[in-house]
Structure 1
């Protein structure tokens, strides 16, 4: 390193210290001092105001209360008996403790057999009333069997984007809706190139899962910035997943749903829908940022279920996790639905001292309490800093110059021909998100020890990667300049059970030639994309020249020669 280069590096380090590290230290100190005044912030191990957190005990109490009230009216309507609600609550609580009934999400739904047991064995109601009680329970939608008949997956709209209008190709987007096991509606989209696929073909299905405070439009910002269309042009069936409350699911806003909700219910529902509708075709899942966290930890949960006896947790925490995880047969079936997972910039842990963004974000939980927010106002804040005249100029200067590494989204060199990219991205792809979702990330930022579940199990996903299914190939992309998901996260790869483990550092197109993707399922490969920031793994010169070609190579290799005919042959052989 010559003197000029060394001087430039020292100047850059000094600027970062002044404009980034010092403010980060001061904001962290201010946050800690304020939190000591409000000791309740730490009472649950979270940097969260207690009035904004609903505990598992409260969830159980609410679920039992709702079901008990419904059962009270059912019994009175059918038998004219007024059974005290407290008695019904006590029975439901006991059945839940004995694991005879199950809490999922925030509701308790009964099977017909479970209802029969409560009616005949616990309440000693005459058998002559049973059919009337069952019919009334069906009518009031408290039986799981009701969901199978009343809530059917559905296609409800489609649209065509024609080449004459977009100058690129003919694309069809179909809108679907399905329901989780508890009847929560989930909408999502399927995009295909009308020239590249045929109904019933064996081409890959790829599910795209967006990051924190993003909707699925982040994968299709425009013709220029669309990994969705890029993949569709190659004959992939693209499914665009949206979390609750954003994108095509906008308007159904639950302030308390968390990342665990997406992991346990929403993404598995979409995965199962695709597998069922495509007659057993598996999917490759690609997630950016939080999307990778959701995708990986969904698989991790299923792996934990299959080896649950090996899990080392206290009896109380293990019991809580056992009630949340899917049944073993379901987990095994779902693992078979996945051909591989690709995660772009998906962190395993956070360091609140590494960038001024993290302690600044922590203050959101205090502001949420002070201003009584029902959501974390990401979209409103981004609109403010990109639209108000003075703030707009400051924001534009920061992201086009990256003084002191303040720009935690893009590296300006990757977007030299588009000075307004960030403004369009924030306007199109970002949305405000529920408090529960935000607080789960704040918890991880605050303690810096990994990503943990919000239920009573407090399972630290980041400490249990050894349970990840070895048969699912896994590919991590890290931006060399990414402060939100730095390459240091690669240290977790050694804990995965995969037999083949590789790391590639990619700086130029020439480096792509040395990359080897293996046909074996048991592989985990880390790619460090030099010079890339958090969004550069999706957009810009680096994504176009380095990331997208690697993603295509991965899909081609792990999909290999899968076909409906080969699937039938393997089934017949079994």
Structure 2
């Protein structure tokens, strides 16, 4: 008894000395430096001026780019010079009248919009339009050209054989599509060649990685691969990478924000999967930020259902969101794509004093300004603590002992036979993040008020969970040893509209048998997993014994008895008049895919 008290007192003292005091000191120096830096925002966060631009400035830049392109198109095809200033004013007027759309920071036109601008607004004779249309497609300002002239959606595949990896036969297929703003996005599908058949009705699962992570976080090696574990169960597994990271690394966008992933990247991949699989829905599984993106994408779509009841938003905020949230029919169709969402260690809010890691990352944001970087240098930080002699040895001791709870990745309890797991995860799964993505998270950390949009709508997602779609089941996993998504996040579950809500505390594998997952759609279940750190929710002893069995049950339950045949009957019930010939064609297309 006395020994345990001494151990607890020693542990608390170490935590206070090595974690709390440094966090307070670093936050204090951060606040002081922020106050003397005159270009700061209200929150005292240093950032490139390009991230502080208003919606009007963004529209002006986008209109200016389009105006320059149209100027050269008109000159090349007609020989006449339409003043660029006039073109820009007309484009901005069309955006304000909502006849054309600003998406993120570009304006992409449809054929009809280009024809209207050409013949009605600029009074160019119709005989020139075919040449103008062709030139617009070549210069990639035409939405239709992005869809028709793109590279093949299926462009590469890889085969892993059991003889080589000692585990099984897997096929990884690379796909490519475009977001609604015209940006290229790639993703992968991993399937066990022994467990699936083209065109079958087995579940589809889309894995969404966390902050500063790429999709390799789900497929680190044969030993550490949630993707392959799911594939071995016969699931179709899709791997998402944000632009600028993972297999999208060549498309680096320094001003990418979390809003971009919610509004464009994840919806584009979800819709592409839905389309290619001929209407097969999917289960979203997100770790950390991946769960936040997944939930907020669904929340975005469902806000359209409640649009007339969002009286607490002012007119300017609603005007901005009007340009982002899809029209009602499209939003409802999008929601039909999703069978459920699983969130592993997903935070709803942050507190900068919770852990010394947060003020350190805040300081990295200062370094981006000082050294004029285009990313928050997390890779360099991790390299310094894991590769530099002496520092590396100190890091190993701290991480493996978890002194003062400084290890934000994993606990030694969950990885007793691998004292290098944290190093492997940092080197395989994590990357430096674009400046805008890092800045949005840092804002959330700094003020602790929830997760807000970066645009001028300032929509706080954490305050809008009552508008989440209640017929999409949600499952949250929180680790009691996770400083990045502490169990205090449970308080947000009360705001969801689901009819059935439960909380399970899981300490041993025996507790898994006590969990009841119902077939009802309107359910939310929170799981509090004893002893799990942030990445322990993905890999390690507890993940294998507790989380994986539950994850498989969740996917099985929310998928239900979905089949292509049932999907066809649903189409018929909606009076779409699908014939048996249509169904045979539909089946053949799914098999061919």
Aligned residue for 1:376? 376
CA distance, structure 2, for counterparts of residue 220 and residue 542 of structure 1: 18
Give the structure 2 partner of residue 15 of structure 1: 14
Judged with a 3 Å threshold, the aligned counterparts in structure 2 of structure 1 residues 52 and 68 are, in CA distance, closer, same or farther, namely closer
1:248 alignment partner in structure 2: 247
| Cα drift, residue 51 of structure 1 | 2.8
Give how far 1:478 is off.
0.3
Report the Cα distance in structure 1 between the residues aligned to 2:483 and 2:340, rounded to whole angstroms. Answer: 26
Q: Distance in 2 between matches of 1:70 and 1:125?
A: 16
Matches within 5 A, 1:152-163: 154-163=153-162
Instruction: Describe the SS at the equivalent of 1:299.
Output: helix
| Conserved 8 A contact 1:479-1:486 | yes
Report what 2:359 is aligned to. Answer: 359
Rounded Cα–Cα distance in structure 1 between residues aligned with 2:285 and 2:100? 35
Using the alignment, how far apart are the partners of 2:237 and 2:455 within structure 1? 32
CA–CA distance in 1 between the matches of 2:131 and 2:386? Answer: 60
Instruction: Provide the rounded CA distance (Å) in 2 between the counterparts of 1:374 and 1:78.
Output: 38
Task: Report the equivalent of 2:586.
Answer: none
Give 2:46's aligned residue.
48
User: Bigger CA drift: 410-419 or 564-573?
Assistant: 564-573
- Indicate yes or no: 2:261 matched with 1:262: yes
Q: Give, in whole Å, the separation in 1 of the partners of 2:116 and 2:169.
A: 56
Q: Unmatched 5+ residue regions in structure 2? A: 575-593
Map residues 418-437 of structure 1 onto 2, 5 A cutoff. 418-437=418-437
Change (3 A) 1:182 1:152: farther
TM-score normalized by the length of structure 2: 0.94
243-252 vs 294-303, greater mean Cα deviation: 243-252
Contact persistence 2:37–2:46 (CA under 8 A): no
Tell me the distance in 1 between the aligned counterparts of 2:459 and 2:447. 14
- Distance (Å, rounded) in 1 between the aligned partners of 2:566 and 2:526: 30
How far does residue 52 in structure 1 lie from its aligned partner after superposition?
A: 5.0
Q: Alignment partner of 1:459: what SS?
A: coil
Match of 1:287 in 2: 286
Unaligned 5+ segments in structure 1 are none
Quick one: distance in 1 between partners of 2:434 and 2:558? 35
The 10-residue stretch of structure 1 (493-502 or 119-128) with the greater mean CA deviation from structure 2: 119-128
Aligned residue in 2 for 1:188: 187
Structure 1 residue 139: deviation in Å? Answer: 3.0
Secondary structure at the aligned position of 1:156 is classed as: strand
User: Displacement, 1:429?
Assistant: 0.9
Distance in 2 separating the partners of 1:92 and 1:336: 35
Distance 1:126 1:104 in 2: 29
Shift in Å at residue 254 of structure 1? 0.7
2:563 aligns to what? Answer: 563
Secondary structure of the structure 2 residue equivalent to 1:41: coil
| TM-score normalized with structure 1 length | 0.97
Please give the secondary structure, in 2, of the residue aligned with 1:172.
Answer: strand
Secondary structure of 1:42's match? coil
Spell out, residue by residue over 1:31-67, the C-alpha distance to the aligned partner (whole angstroms, 9 max, x if none). 1111110142224x46132435252333212210111
Aligned to 1:514: 514
State the shift of 1:187 in Å.
Answer: 1.1
Give the Cα–Cα distance (whole angstroms) in 2 for the partners of residues 39 and 303 of structure 1.
Answer: 40
2:394 equivalent in structure 1 = 394
**Distance in 2 separating the partners of 1:132 and 1:277:** 33
Kindly indicate whether the alpha-carbon contact (under 8 Å) linking 1:208 and 1:285 is maintained by their aligned counterparts in 2: yes
| Aligned-partner Cα distance in 1 for 2:88–2:149 | 27
Partner of 2:91: 92
2:455 corresponding residue in structure 1: 455
Contact 2:31-2:44 at 8 Å conserved across structures: no
What SS does structure 2 have at the residue aligned with 1:562?
coil
Partner Cα separation in structure 2 for residue 164 and residue 111 of structure 1: 50
| Residue 495 (structure 1) aligned with residue 509 (structure 2) | no
Q: Kindly indicate whether the alpha-carbon contact (under 8 Å) linking 1:221 and 1:428 is maintained by their aligned counterparts in 2.
A: yes
* Alignment check: 8 A CA contact 1:342 1:474 kept: yes
Name the SS of the counterpart of 2:188 in structure 1. strand
* Number of residues of Structure 1 aligned to a counterpart in Structure 2: 572
Q: 1:191-231: CA deviations, max 9, x gaps?
A: 11111111111000001111111111111111211111111
RMSD (CA atoms): 1.4
- The match for 1:470 is 470
Residue 135 of structure 1: how far off its partner (Å): 3.2
Greater shift, 481-490 or 372-381, is seen at 372-381
Contact 2:414 2:540 in 1 (8 A): yes
- How many angstroms apart in 1 are the aligned matches of 2:372 and 2:503? 46
Retained in 1: the 8 A contact 2:47–2:439?
no
Q: C-alpha displacement at 1:3, in angstroms?
A: 4.1
Q: Which whole-Å CA distance do the structure 2 matches of 1:69 and 1:26 have between them?
A: 50
Other-structure match for 2:60: 61
Once the two structures are TM-superposed, the CA of residue 4 in structure 1 deviates from its matched residue by 3.7
Q: CA deviation at 1:371?
A: 1.0
Cα distance in 2 between the residues matched to 1:308 and 1:18: 50
Deviations 1:413-458 (A, max 9, x none): 1111111111111111111111011101001001110111111111
